[in-house]
Amino acid sequence: MFDTSRDILVEYSIQRLLPIISKERTKHETRKEFLIKIKKHFQQGEKILNDIKKRLGDDDPIINKFTMIMSNYETVKDNMEAFIDRSKGIETFDAENMNP
């Protein structure tokens, strides 16, 4: 309709996406920083759970509840880690060559 080549349209579309890609790369780095903190927090929770077991015993009612919390926490932490791992391609994206 406008007699524009396909290559020019593709190039224009990619140029419009570059700021979005840059913003996502920054967010990805921030997510990685938070994952480090989350892993440390999870390790602290495991230490608390072990301390509760030592001081109150395995049959204390609080153990079951805290074990469920830690199990859920681990699942969410693992899902977050998998998401970040799947997003690693943005780290090496080369805008010059348009290659991930």
Neighbours of 41 (CB within 10 A): 11
pLDDT tens-digit readout, 8-37: 777 888 888 888 988 999 999 999 999 999
Per-residue exposure over 49-75, b if at least 16 CB sit within 10 Å of its own CB, e if not: beebbeeeeeeeeeeeebeeeeeeeee
Q: Say whether pLDDT at 96 is over 80.
A: no
Helix 61-86 crosses helix 6-56 at what angle (to 10 degrees)?
A: 160
- pTM, full prediction: 0.76
pLDDT tens-digit readout, 27-63: 999 999 999 999 999 999 999 999 999 999 988 999 9
* Token pair 């926490």: residue: 73
Q: Please say whether the beta carbons of 40 and 82 come within 8 A.
A: no
Q: Say whether pLDDT at 76 is over 60.
A: yes
Domain ranges of the chain: 6-92
